[in-house]
Homo-oligomer: A and B are copies of this chain.
């Protein structure tokens, strides 16, 4: 999984029918020091994450292992909202 910040949303009315009703979150990847990396991904929300929140997302076939994404053409899913992370005993991020 990677860490990211939810920075926005994507709206797409014309889409593969299996994707109806899902929320597409625009996630900017975070480096371990909590700075924003240059890469992003559009991930389906499975935990009720909102814009501004720090999350973890899973990619590839693992993104289809939630109840909302199963058997769907989805290659990235937000599967957790992060409370804190620590590096070498120091808290880098706290919600």
A interface residues, Cβ below 8 angstroms from B: 1-3, 7-16, 18-19, 24, 26, 28, 31-32, 40-43, 46-48, 51, 56, 58-66, 69, 71-77, 79-89, 92
Number of copies of chain A assembled together: 5
Assess the B66–A62 pair: CB atoms within 8 A: no
Distance between Cα atoms of A77 and B58 in the complex (Å): 12
| Interface residue from B18, B47, B60 paired with A65 (Cβ < 8 Å) | B18
The distance in angstroms between the C-alpha atoms of A69 and B79, with both chains bound, is 14
A45 CB to nearest B CB, Å: 11
Task: Determine whether the beta carbon of A79 is less than 8 Å from that of B7.
Answer: no
* B75 contacts A13, C-beta separation under 8 Å: no
